[in-house]
Amino acid sequence: MNIEIIAIGTELLEGKVQDTNSNFIAGNLTSIGFDVDYITMVKDNRDNIVKTLKDSLNRADIIITTGGLGPTADDITREAVAEATENPLYQDQDLKKEIKDYFKERKHKITENNYRQAMLPEGAIPLHNKRGTAPGILLESDNYIIISLPGVPPEMENLFFKEVIPYLKKLTTENTVIKFLNLFGIGESRLETEIDEIIKESENPEITLLAGEGKVRIKLAAKAESSQKAKRLIKNSENRLRKKVGQYIFGSDNQTLPGVVAELLTENKLDIAIAESCTGGLVGDRITNIPGSSNYFKGGIIAYSNQIKQKKLGVPADILKNKGAVSEQTAEAMACGIKKEFKTDIGLSITGIAGPGGGSPQKPVGLVYLSICDHSSQKVYQLNLNGDRKDNKWLTSQYAFNYLRKWLKKNHKS
């Protein structure tokens, strides 16, 4: 089935708001075996929306729109859907009552324009929105399916999971199983070269590569009469892939590098403290985004100045003077210093030059040292990155988690 996503909103085209909804929908459709063929963006203009919908009806079996379902005059998605499909609008009395009750429960005064949200194209059914007043719309015919969702992300996401995914799953008789393998430390082009033979030989599951922010993903999509058979097909291909590039695979599906590190720390009953310079607390931020991180993350220091490196982390003055803040020796001292300061099992340190300034021929922008220290050993890693300041910080954090992952798997097997 051909699927098109239409993101509606002038603010999207003006660059004031990022279209995160389309990415969310496309990603989740892919995870249940549906491929998105088109993503279109259109401003709040009725003629433009109607034309876009009509164009989409000629090329897509399923159309999913986001935005334009609110109560104000520029919320015209329902009118555009009605016109494009020649299904006149009517006011659904049950929806009207729901909207009225919603305001009454919250002791808010309702205005007449809120009842616009109770309007539906003939033949459509409402998708009940538990997080707002704008219901979604499901309009199904022999030739098309149109699903209209609110533009507010939490409302859209809730409706998508509760209503849209169960509905779409019923449309296919085939069992499609999707699995992602997540890799770090290898680029997309090199990965393709490494597994090209496996990709070409595998028709089911279909194997595709997806490049992301600081990682690459291998998508395996298998179709069979049963989900069990589809899973077996995936397992066979996954085994071949792991033999070829297993050293780069850190997890699957929704696993992240910080999440994998968190699991390893928990399994091994270890705790960690982090000393950061050029990443400015990014590694600490990412690890504390994981629920339960207080069980293994004891704290950190953003040691941006030499004074803090010396006074709080115990980096010797002669190392800072003779070797510099960005050096192997400073990274080693920072890792041991943070471990001692917080009395943890492991200390991690990062020091480098994120850019755009601060580099030299001897120590260029993108030079970073990371060090890991535990009770019995220590190691330093050197990075030579070539991105801008933001990219260098992010990639450094990715490398930090990946080195931690490998360190824990090698030295602290649970």
Span 185-204, pLDDT tens digits: 999 999 999 999 999 999 99
The predicted-structure confidence for 42-96, as pLDDT tens digits, reads as follows 999 999 999 999 999 999 999 999 999 988 888 999 999 999 999 999 998 888 8
- pLDDT given for residue 332 in this prediction: 98
Residue 80 and residue 164 in one domain:
yes
Residue 136 and residue 206 in one domain:
no
Residue 118 and residue 243 in one domain:
no
Residue 24 and residue 132 in one domain:
yes
- pLDDT given for residue 317 in this prediction: 97
Which CATH number goes with the domain that contains 221?
3.30.70.2860
Residue 301 and residue 365 in one domain:
yes
As a three-state string, the secondary structure of the chain is CCEEEEEECHHHHCCCCCCHHHHHHHHHHHHCCCCEEEEEEECCCHHHHHHHHHHHHCCCCEEEEECCCCCCCCCCHHHHHHHHHCCCEEECHHHHHHHHHHHHHCCCCCCHHHHHHHEEECCCEEECCCCCCCCEEEEECCCCEEEEECCCHHHHHHHHHHHHHHHHHCCCCCEEEEEEEEECCCCHHHHHHHHHHHHHHCCCCEEEEEEECCEEEEEEEEEECCHHHHHHHHHHHHHHHHHHHHHHEEEECCCCHHHHHHHHHHHCCCCEEEEECCCCCHHHHHHHCCCCHHHCEEEEEECCCHHHHHHHHCCCHHHHHHCCCCCHHHHHHHHHHHHHHHCCCEEEEEEECCCCCCCCCCCCCCEEEEEEECCCCEEEEEEECCCCHHHHHHHHHHHHHHHHHHHHHHHCCC
Residue 182 and residue 159 in one domain:
no
- pLDDT given for residue 227 in this prediction: 86
pTM (predicted TM-score): 0.75
Residue 110 and residue 242 in one domain:
no
- pLDDT given for residue 173 in this prediction: 65
Q: Report whether pLDDT(414) > 60.
A: no
- pLDDT given for residue 266 in this prediction: 97
Mean pLDDT, the chain, rounded, equals 94
Of the residues 121, 153, 169, which one is the last residue of a structural domain? 169
Q: How confident is the model at residue 411 (pLDDT cuts 50, 70, 90)?
A: confident
Which CATH number goes with the domain that contains 148?
3.40.980.10
Q: How confident is the model at residue 413 (pLDDT cuts 50, 70, 90)?
A: low
Name the domain count of the chain: 3
Q: How confident is the model at residue 108 (pLDDT cuts 50, 70, 90)?
A: confident
Of the residues 147, 169, 191, which one is the last residue of a structural domain? 169
Of the residues 252, 275, 295, which one is the last residue of a structural domain? 252
**What mean pLDDT comes out for the span 139-148?**
95
Residue 15 and residue 107 in one domain:
yes
Residue 146 and residue 183 in one domain:
no
Residue 189 and residue 120 in one domain:
no
Structural domain span for residue 126? 3-169
Residue 58 and residue 82 in one domain:
yes
Residue 18 and residue 158 in one domain:
yes
